[in-house]
Amino acid sequence: MRHGGHEAPHDDPPHALADEAEGYLLAHAHRDQARREAEDLCARMPWLTTAQAEELTGHYVRRRLDVTRQLLHSTVQRAEELRREYESRYADLRHTLLRRHAACACALLACAGGVSALTILLTR
């Protein structure tokens, strides 16, 4: 995870390797955690044979990784939706701010022109 002001694009070559390595390490840590949980589960079932315990462990780890993958995909999709919504809102706010500044500038110029014209009329 990079910390700082702005995130680099995902296509940025200097960060692509770091992102891939981070993902690899996180995936392996998650798989190891799932394996530990499965082994704890099997330890609470002393009647299982070694083959049954290995099969249950493998099934648990696969299922857990599938669930995690689904959760990560839905999280990424939601993040993309939110990013699009925020970018749209930001663009709308910038447009509104630009219009207001332009209106204020026009009003200021009109007032300056009116004061200038009034000054010229009064000095005659």
Buried b (16+ CB within 10 A) or exposed e, 93-124: eeeeeeeeeeeeeeeeeeeeeeeeeeeeeeee
Output the pLDDT for position 1: 46
The 3-state DSSP class for residue 48 equals: coil
Banded model confidence at residue 7, pLDDT cuts 50, 70, 90: low
Residue closest to 19 by CA, chosen among 31, 28, 6, 10: 10
Provide the angle, in degrees to the nearest 10, between the axes of the packed helices 50-123 and 13-43.
140
CB 42 within 8 A of CB 57: yes
pTM of the model as a whole: 0.62
In the predicted structure, residue 10 carries a pLDDT above the cut 80: no
Give backbone dihedrals phi and psi of 11, rounded to 5 degrees, phi first: -85, -10
In the predicted structure, residue 9 carries a pLDDT above the cut 60: no
Using a pLDDT cut of 90, give the percent of the chain over it: 77
- DSSP annotation of 4 reads S
